[in-house]
Chain A
Amino acid sequence: MTRHPDRILLITLTSVLILLFGLALVRGETALPFLPALEDFLVGRDTVGAVILGQLRLPRALLAVMIGGSLGLSGAVLQGYLRNPLADPGLLGVSSGAALGAVLVFYTGLAGAFSFALPLGGLAGALLAVVLLLGLAGQGGVVSLLLAGTALTSFFAAMTALTLNLVPSPYASFEIMHWLMGSLADRTMLQVWLCLPGIFLGSLLMAMSGRVLDALTLGDEVAESLGFTLKGMWGAQNRIVLGSALAIGSGVAVAGAIGFIGLVVPHLLRPLTGHRPGRLLLPSFLGGAILLLLADICARFIPTHTELHVGVLTALTGAPLFFWRVSVLRKNGS
């Protein structure tokens, strides 16, 4: 009932996010006098500082916030809707669809032809996956949604493997493997604009599902008795699936597959929001944004001979967080 702990949590998360965002802009490979560069960027002067800030660091930080946030939000929404704390945005099959779309762009050589062929291919794959998912799961409930998602995931993964198998040059398959690991390196404002509509619309649809998720903690029947329509064309299920798919698909199309954020962020924040799914949504968006931004900052600053992929880092940091949660659960005996 009380909103007070929520406010503290939201203020803390927002402050951390703003700090990290600032850090991502201020620090980088090239030492840069930040304030003059910012001034140049804001007034539109074409200096080296302004270019580094506006075309390299800013899009990267923005993408980390958008994609990380939508991954955290999708995880919270899907875990709430499926009433399964192990649900992950990946299980709808939309990420695999986006990945296949991008891989096909690599395969056909379109990737070299024009710079945004890759994200467009990813978006096309994601949209195909959404249409297939809604068509397959249709008016059915949670079980048919999960079955359809699993079937699509396996199918797209198989097609991706087939493409890798048939790829003519080893260099192309190397590039594909790298892309699949997920990265925010060398992204521009173009990619930001490409994934913005999907992420914005999708996140909006998901953010509106807080109350129905609250009601669903008591089961489908009680949720319906509290005034919600779950199935059917305009039911809550379709809105949740569409929202999550739009956001996730757009993110994967631009940055590749970034794992673990959608799974681990809602998990960690849930006890801080009284286990009420509706109250978990906004904190999960902020938490996901923080985690991906942090991982990307680490990817940029950890000195290795090739830059680490952020998807590798999120999985590497996500797994120990899960180990920690398991040990807490074992100690509490529940």
Chain B
Amino acid sequence: MNTCPEILRADHATLLYGNSPVLRDVSLSVRTGEVFGLIGPNGAGKSSLLRVLAGLQAPDEGSVQMEGVNLAEKAALWRAHRIAFLPQEAETLPPMAVRELVSLGRIPFGKGQSDEDRLAVEEALQQTRTLEFAHRAVTALSGGERARVLLSRALAVRAPVLLADEPIAALDPAHALSVMNLFHDLSRKGVAVVVVLHDLALASRFCDRVGLLKDGKLVSMGAPADVLTDNMVSTVYGVTVQRVCNAVIPWDLI
């Protein structure tokens, strides 16, 4: 059981899109040193919840607190030093060099010329194994490579909270495993990682806790084994579940 202090918390957050709610009365707290998985079917409100947690969208009702302070009352820069955000869909990127793009993560800290800035960028490149093509244009990379570069950009912020929206959707099994391992390592170094996932096997293996969303409601939250019961997965996703031994599951990096 993780007894670390809670760092980010949503209190009865409700978010409306026009008149229809996309989040209904969601309350959850994320602790330092854990990987928290957000799971649920398409359109359940996972990305909306992540944006609300990032302070990019204020909830219509309820609040979000970072270190006990209401996010809505804090300046954008205060937030930028504490929460790194990786959205799901990437913009059409210019043909910028990978290292230059990753260094954009240092923007909240000034001109990006200090030793700490350089160190943060190099470390972020190493962590996602993108150092080898750091000099290449980001437009010349494959979709999976680009996804890792964008993750590096978020890591370069070195924020105590990392919010990532489907960061492994474009990755092959080895790189998906490596990124999940990285999240695990980061969490053990004291970072709170909130990650939106569709792969339930990876979620149950790597997340300390998961929150299951459906129709904007948080229907269950807790350790993956407690949340991802056959019954719950059937109800929320509308699929039957089998736990099989001979399924091919990429497991460890060689």
Contacts and interface: CB of A to CB of B under 8 A. Distances in A.
A221 to B, nearest CB: 5
Q: Interface on chain A toward B: helix, strand, loop, or mixed SS?
A: loop
A276 B100 contact: yes
B108 A217 contact: no
A218 B91 contact: yes
B104 to A, nearest CB: 6
B97 A215 contact: no
A228 interface: yes
Contacts of A3: 113
A229 interface: yes
B87 A227 contact: no
B100 A226 contact: no
A40 interface: no
A224 interface: yes
Contacts of A218: 90-91, 93, 101, 104, 150, 153
Contact of A1 (B56, B89, B121, B139): B121
Given A214-B107, A225-B80, A226-B107, A219 B96 contact: no
B94 A222 contact: no
Contacts of A221: 51, 56, 85, 87
B37 to A, nearest CB: 20
A334 interface: yes
B92 A215 contact: no
B139 to A, nearest CB: 7
A210 to B, nearest CB: 10
A224 B76 contact: yes
B175 interface: no
Contacts, number: 77
Contacts of B32: none
Interface in B45-84: 51, 54, 56, 75-77, 79-81, 83-84
A83 B105 CA distance: 19
B91 A217 contact: yes
A225 B56 contact: yes
Nearest to A274: B100
A217 B87 contact: no
Nearest to B79: A227
A178 interface: no
Given A218-B153, A221-B85, A274-B96, A227 B103 contact: no
Nearest to B55: A225
Contacts of A227: 75-77, 79-81, 107-108
Given A1-B100, A225-B56, A227-B76, A219 B107 contact: no
A221 B103 CA distance: 17
A228 to B, nearest CB: 6
Interface of A: 1, 3, 83, 211, 214-215, 217-219, 221-222, 224-229, 270, 274-276, 334
What 6 A-B pairs have minimum CB-CB distances, sorted nearest first?
A227-B80, A225-B85, A227-B77, A219-B91, A275-B94, A275-B96
Interface of B: 51, 54, 56, 75-77, 79-81, 83-87, 89-97, 99-101, 103-105, 107-108, 112-113, 118, 121, 137, 139, 150, 153, 157
